[in-house]
Amino acid sequence: MIAAAFALDEPLAAEPAVAEPALGGEALRAECLARADLYRILAGVFVEEPSPGFLAALREPAMLQALQDANLDFGADFLASDLPALAETLACEYATLFASSGGFPPIESVRLTGRFKQEPHFQMAALYQRLGFEQVKGRFEVFPDQLGMELMFVAELLTRAASALAQDDQAAYRELDKEIKRFWTLHLGRWVRGYSGLIARASNHSFYREMARFLGGFAVEEIAAMGLNHLNDLDQGQLEVPKSEIQLEFNPDEPVCGECPPGLAERGAAATGARVIPITPLRDLQLGD
């Protein structure tokens, strides 16, 4: 299993629901864990430039075979390069694709509004806090609506869902399932499909081209499996996102009030009384039993 990027907190309190899971408890739990692993792999691709440990794990024979079975077609630039050279090459490719002027930042605010730190940024910060997460700084600042963070967040919800099923807590499982569907409806489902197609076209290296294709196919399958086919892709893979009217002016020196989005997020977290857990960028994959 791929090591978790998040620590696990107590299962969320849940509301009663009427529908029972279609699969048996153990089968459904295994499915949740398998899905969480895929989310974490994809998070590791996009949250920052891949570390040598991450790349080494992806090139392990079993993992590589699984990726190839999913129709990923890596080239010699990924398969035959020695690890230090590959890590350096992909760090440059990451900077070009995602961090440089003229690149395509993997950030929901940017993809939907053309600007950093707009409504999705504060919605994600509030959501993390409402569910008992605290984002902490890694090597670099990572915005709460960054693609890798959003994928890791779903991975943790799936891990919590598996924990709820292991305790035969169907109500908690159903509430977590609702949270995941709501998250796809309000966030990932609005931009990931178009964005993944853009990155697949823009990539020079087969690693990012194929992992972007993987993300796009995975998003389509997840949306279908959750019955969310009505979701519109607002991103559309645009090369340049028109700048919308400024919804939020961000001033880091301004005190946080109680009514602006940052203040609401803090108040929401305080109201839950939940113990926070760290959300940290994924650096290495560790494969185990």
Report the pLDDT value the prediction gives residue 136, as an integer from 0 to 100.
Answer: 72
- Mean pLDDT rounded to a whole number for the chain: 82
Where in the chain are the domains? Answer: 25-47+105-239+257-279
Q: pLDDT per residue over 226-262, tens digit each?
A: 999 999 999 999 999 999 876 555 444 444 444 344 4
Torsion (CA) 252, 132, 13, 146 in degrees, nearest 10 = 70
Residue 64 pLDDT more than 90? yes
Q: What percent of the chain has pLDDT over 90?
A: 72
Residue 287 pLDDT more than 90? no
Residue 79 pLDDT more than 90? yes
Residue 289 pLDDT more than 50? no
Residue 33 pLDDT more than 80? yes
Q: Widest CA span of the chain, in angstroms?
A: 54
User: Which pair of tokens denotes residue 274?
Assistant: 């939940």
Architecture field, domain 25-47+105-239+257-279: Orthogonal Bundle (1.10)
Q: What percent of the chain has pLDDT over 70?
A: 76
Q: pLDDT per residue over 263-282, tens digit each?
A: 444 444 333 333 333 444 44
Q: pLDDT per residue over 178-214, tens digit each?
A: 999 999 999 999 999 999 999 999 999 999 999 999 9
Report the pLDDT value the prediction gives residue 247, as an integer from 0 to 100.
Answer: 58
